[in-house]
Amino acid sequence: MARVKLKGSERRPLAGARALGKADPNERLEVSLLLRRRDADAFHTHVAGLLAGDAAARPLSREEFATRHGADPKDVHAVRTFAEAHGLAVVQQHLARRTVVLAGTVAQFNAAFGVDLQHYEHADGSYRGREGGIQLPAALQDIVEGVFGLDNRPQAKPHFRIHQEAPAGAAAAAAAASPSFTPVQLANLYHFPPGAGAGQCIAIIELGGGYRSADLQAYFAGLGLKTPTVVAVSVDHARNKPTGNANGPDGEVVLDIDVAGAVAPEARIAVYFAPNTDAGFLDAITTAIHDATNKPSVISISWGSAESNWTAQAMQAYDQAFQTAAALGITVCAAAGDNGSSDGETDGHDHVDFPASSPHVLACGGTRLAASNGKITSESVWNDGSTGGAGGGGISAVFALPGYQNGLKANRNGTASPLAMRGVPDISGDADPATGYQVRVDGKSLVFGGTSAVAPLWAGLIARINAIKGHPMGFCHAKLYAHAAALRDITQGNNGDFVSTPGWDACTGLGSPDGGKVAGLF
């Protein structure tokens, strides 16, 4: 049987990982296949109109999208035929998501995709992985655009940091100089328009951990708010499963719910729990986008990793999902990272975080906020040199310059140069742990920071605006960039190599929100 390599599917072991031998041939796993979309040219024309802010380019309904641009049943049949030939079972198919999930053993998948799955050990644990590319039969090379789940390494990290108290003797002075805030206080400081997001649904993507209803009830009662409706959606067998460790994924889950729920307490919050793999992350995103039950109008993502840690096929597949979100009128907010211009990489180069670097995502950077008497007194780039925490931002090495960023410049170490590729972030908000968010996790009241908090903050604002306007903001980049005065320009500080300047910059984007002015654009 003639085979071709799936473009962009090459994998390398994690840095420092050691192969222990072949993966158990009898181990059972599930693998997600992403299929091509129908009428791709018409779809891309439609999305281009939305990106340009064309008023005539209206969002599609989920039903319209499935009919026009979902997977072709004939392509699904071809995948089924391939699966049967290799003894693989089709356990799920979804035309709108263009996804077919296959189940089988390691031995069967090795034979089906021409891979040699190995068992690897690394500093943080172990994983099943592979090297090189995935092989497809020639009959599927134009049908299958991605194969995910053969490798189950951890794909992303949460972007939060818990505030570390000041040393003894300095605590009182530090608390007075840099108090924390509730999300309600931040919404007021940022002039969010009145409202509570009634009739909206905010989707939150989580790759581990969980929440306890008792914590949510205690938290919202403390704010004088009714506990919002929170539903857990299982993706790829993952579940709401609290670990009891606020420093782990529980911290991310509850931070996201507390912030979004406090800002938009009448919105429904759907939390999509998925495994922390490239397959699980993608399946969670596409499940949220095409969820015809909860129907989210905005998605908040606080997980990610440097672009260099992703396969090309994964970044393309995720970006296609975000294009679909734009076509359906769904806004996607993603944290830009907490490790400054390096994004935590140690190769001496600048990196940006993905999925925030997708040009179809509203990338959320971080600031340090100070306030007095209900008003903001100062706001600068979040960069805490003592702990290494700083808002992510920079220039993508993968994604082309989007039209809405034409003519912009990035200031790197004092030298301003025209953007040649996608610039990150788009917008920002309070993220410094020292001026962070009061939340309740695993029975404890803590103060969190990180760009993880900025994504649900903006998601809550967007839910409010959607409820007020009676229609979704959807893909909002063109209007935000055309009307930058609706944001609070941040002109002080740096995130490492990039310097904050008047106008857009690669530290805080266009700036933090003036919620009422942002609402006025839509």
Instruction: Please list the active-site residues.
Output: 252, 256, 452
Residue indicated by tokens 């009891």: 244
What burial letters (b/e) apply to 118-147, b meaning 16+ CB within 10 Å? Answer: bbbebeeeebbbbeebbbbbeebbebbbbb
- Contact call for residues 334 and 328 (beta carbons, < 8 A): no
Contact 244, 250 (CB under 8 A): yes
> CA separation (Å) from 371 to 185, 210, 260, 440?
10, 32, 21, 22
Q: Which of 259, 302, 300, 280 is nearest to 158 (CA)?
A: 302
Using CA atoms, how far apart are residues 197 and 219, in angstroms rounded to an integer? 19
Beta strands 375-381 and 394-400 are: unpaired
User: For residue 355, is the peptide bond before it cis, meaning its omega torsion is within 30 degrees of 0?
Assistant: yes
* Angle between the N-to-C axes of helices 40-51 and 312-327, in degrees from 0 to 180, rounded to the nearest 10: 70
- Distance of alpha carbon 171 from alpha carbon 342, whole angstroms: 30
Tokens of 360: 């179809």
**Angle (nearest 5°) at CA 364 between 362 and 367:** 150
CB 465 within 8 A of CB 473: yes
Report the distance separating Cα 8 and Cα 148, nearest Å. Answer: 12
Helix ranges (H only) for 191-329 are 213-222, 249-263, 278-289, 312-327
State the CB neighbour count (10 A cutoff) for residue 357.
Answer: 33
Residue 503, sorted as left (phi over 0), alpha (psi -120 to 50) or beta, turns out to be left
Bridge partner residues of 33 (DSSP)? 100, 147
Residues in CB range of 170: below 8 A, 6 or more apart: none
> Can you read off the two tokens belonging to residue 335?
């944290």
